[in-house]
Amino acid sequence: MKKTIIFSILILALFLSACISQTKVITQSGVDTTPKITTSETQKASIPDTGSEPYKKIVTLTGEENQDTETFTINTDKVKIVAGTENSAVGSFTSIILQKKDGDDTLNMNLILKSLQVTADAGEEGKGELIIEDLTKGSYYISVTSGIKWEITVYEYS
């Protein structure tokens, strides 16, 4: 039952993100305790080195197609996720969802609804960036829905 609900929410989120027009920057924030997210999507560029910013790299994950990543530990309440895709033959859509391992269902559902989507035209690379605040410390993983190669780097705020 829980997986059906999560899958239904994921499909709804994918549909809603596909309905968004050619907006390059989307900002979402809430006043409650759910994670606040700022998203910058579909910028054609390589993943930046954020060493000069107040973020410290936790992990870089690479893969191809749909999968859940290995788990990693977040020790602060704010993270930045930077994602890139490549080798899109006919255009692509990639969904990146941060999930807490053994996490609270409400937190994970809120993270699903506020996921990062990266699109790319045929033959081009896609890039997206996501900042999430008000997280709890613990083990997390990323659920990726994609048909192409991807690279995701997670930074925590220092």
Predicted pLDDT of residue 63: 94
DSSP code, position 20 = S
Predicted pLDDT of residue 6: 52
What is the residue range of 134's domain? Answer: 2-157
Look up the CATH number of the domain holding residue 108. Answer: 2.60.120.380
Three-state SS string over 103-131 comes to CCHHHHHHHHHCCEEEEECCCCCEEEEEE
**pTM of the predicted model over 0.85:** no
Q: How far apart are CA 66 and CA 11, in angstroms?
A: 14
Structure-token pair, residue 29: 């924030």
Digitized pLDDT (tens) for each residue of the chain, 158 residues in all? 555 555 455 454 444 444 332 222 223 333 343 344 333 433 333 444 545 568 999 999 999 999 999 999 999 999 999 999 998 878 889 999 999 988 777 778 878 877 899 988 888 889 999 999 988 899 999 999 999 999 999 999 98
Predicted pLDDT of residue 5: 52
Distance of CA 149 to the CA centre of its chain: 15
Q: Count of domains in the chain?
A: 1
- 37 sits in the region (left: phi over 0; alpha: psi -120 to 50; else beta) called beta
DSSP code, position 25 = E
